[in-house]
Amino acid sequence: MKSKFRHVALIGKYHTSFNAGTSAPTDVMRDTLMKISSFLLTQGCEVAMESETALHSGISDLPVLDVAAIGAHCDLGLVVGGDGTMLGIGRQLARYGVPLIGINHGRLGFMTDIPLENYEATLRPMLQGAYEEDHRSLMHAKVMRDGECVFDALALNDVVVNRGGTAGMLELRVEVDGHFVANQRVDGLIIATPTGCTAYALSAGGPLLHPSIPGWVLVPIAPHTLSNRSIVLADQSEVAIEIVAGRDASANFDMQSLASLMRGDRIMVRRSQYRVRFLHPRGWSYFDTLRNKLHWNEGVV
């Protein structure tokens, strides 16, 4: 059977695709991308390389498309890398509705969930239409200063307000839908989506949220008051975090964008109109992913 997807964009882990101290592309990543592209061609797909991936991998014998062109012309994005790679391209392609499949060439792989060693056997039925579709909401965050927007970003995992490395605690005013919640003295504060609940929020003691739950979790980092606990919010809410006191504060969006903050700045977070479309192998389960990645049941007979 021919592939259900005619035009496939191949996106690689290009931001770490260079050997340390050299200017030569990493042979392993380049060879991996070429093998996967050859496989896709055998399945009847037309394959293009994402422009940054092509530039940094040294691959020049495939058509090259930037993100906007992928959104206009491709009906599938195949991501080879780790969750960071998927986060980056997922935010960019969400507005175009292009579905994404992830092949794990990183470490944990919560979103890039197909093992590299048997990608052909897993991909073949998926390309023919045997897959599970999984939609993940994005957050739209703005940094407001004196009534002006000074920074604007999307986040798939989380928005994090953090203190500086040598600074003391922050005092943050938290509001939800314009209602005052609390002033918190903390090292930082995380607003995480269900996708991001297995990232920084989990390390800070936050709960896990199933991806189907239309919610966010607000997680304090090292709070001064032990009664200051994580709280689950509806993702229809707008959350505002104001810098009341503290030096060298910053805001991170999926840990890939950074905005330095000043006293009085307000970080406004609401649900984006865009969602990321993930495709998983038929029979995929979120609980299987948790069990495998978090090593549950190890040692249990």
CA-based nearest residue to 85, from 112, 58, 62, 65: 112
Question: E strands within 187-291?
Answer: 188-192, 215-221, 231-234, 239-245, 250-253, 257-260, 266-281
Which are the catalytic amino acids? Answer: 83
Please tell me the distance from the alpha carbon of residue 43 to that of residue 59, in angstroms, as a whole number: 20
Q: Are 103 and 114 in contact (CB under 8 A)?
A: yes
Q: Which residues contact 285 (CB under 8 A, 6 or more apart)?
A: none
Please tell me the distance from the alpha carbon of residue 48 to that of residue 61, in angstroms, as a whole number: 10
CA-based nearest residue to 238, from 161, 186, 181, 171: 181
